[in-house]
Structure 1
Amino acid sequence: MPTSFLAALSEEQRERSWREALESGRISVALAYSGEELAGWVAYGKCRDTDKDASWGEIEAIYLHPSRYGLGIGTSLMQYARKSLSTMGYSGVSLWVLTANVRARKFYELAGFSTDENTKEFELGGTVLGEIRYQRTLTG
């Protein structure tokens, strides 16, 4: 993410946005701890893409503290989100990832996701970023 975008983030605005999303039930969030420290989290819910029907869920975000990479925590978060989405009645799951984020793309591919080649671009903090969509079934 561009440094200018991160520097301009409002803690109050982000808190309000997250509170509204959680209280409305639009998304669910699972947290992973390592001892007493938050190691990562995943947000998931109904797919927001207009070309997907009601059988699709979405992993909106997954973040892991860099010091926790390679410990299986991200895999556990991903498995938890997929199981929860399946329990909610979804049969497929999609996610968007920054095209340039090679590490994340490899992680998703190892988790059984593949790209459907849909892409989009958006501007953030004066920088144009590209995303590519990945998807997989929730069975198997």
Structure 2
Amino acid sequence: MDEPTLRIRPMTLADCDRVSEIRVRGWQHAYRGLVPRPYLDRLSVAADAERRRERFARGNGTVVNLVAERDDRVLGWAAVGPYRDGEAYTADAELYAIYVDPAHLGRGTGRALLDAAAGRCPAGARLLLWVLKGNAPARRFYERAGFRADGAEESFDADGVPVPEVRYVRAPAG
């Protein structure tokens, strides 16, 4: 029997709880061994959902939030908008986030979200993203989609432990 069709649509305020569940469970699944365990264990779906609702309510349209759903169940989320270079935005686009429910990985949901997010970027814009340096599965996913590490690296602090990220870029289509 065929799997029901995957649908990509704009995120709504009503999606915030499910998106936060996917994001937190995604972090706990994908970043195990890369981010300190106590940090991951403290992640809260409820707190994330509250922050997400606040951000969503005050959004100005520069960030596009998309969800992937099948049978009216949200399975993934992506956010894309202008590239942040310090405090300023550039003409390039940035994939801020892409997460798929860990139970639904490997079924094309991430690629469908990535393609839809890329389709929302300005014509001629490069698409950039940051990925954990040690996250080999995510790096392979992006490389298969035409992204390449450009040599830029930075870290964020998780419980006093620096977690290195690398920047990936994909040239404009065409």
CA gap of 1:8–1:83, structure 2 versus 1, over 3 A, is closer
Distance in 2 between residues matched to 1:84 and 1:91, nearest whole Å: 10
Aligned residue type for 1:73: T
Is 1:5–2:31 an aligned residue pair?
A: no
Task: Pick the aligned partner of 2:162 from 128, 132, 135.
Answer: 128
In the TM superposition, 1:34-73 aligns within 5 A as 34-50=70-86, 54-73=90-109
The TM-score, its normalising length taken from structure 2, stands at 0.69
Identical positions, percent: 32
After alignment, is 104-113 or 124-133 more displaced? 124-133
Preserved contact between residue 123 and residue 172 of structure 2 (Cα < 8 Å): no
Q: CA deviation at 1:32?
A: 0.0
Change (3 A) 1:89 1:66: same
Q: CA RMSD in A?
A: 2.1
Q: Deviations over 1:61-115 (max 9, x none)?
A: 0000111111111111111111110xx3352110000111111000000000000
Q: In structure 1, how many angstroms separate the alpha carbons of the residues matched to 2:104 and 2:133?
A: 23
Q: Which amino acid aligns with 1:62?
A: I
> Normalization by structure 1: what TM-score?
0.84
Report the number of matched residues: 135
Residue 123 of structure 1 aligns to a residue in which SS? strand
For structure 1, list consecutive stretches of 5 or more residues without a partner in the other structure: none
1:137 alignment counterpart: 171
Q: Which ranges of structure 2 fall in alignment gaps of 5 or more residues?
A: 1-34
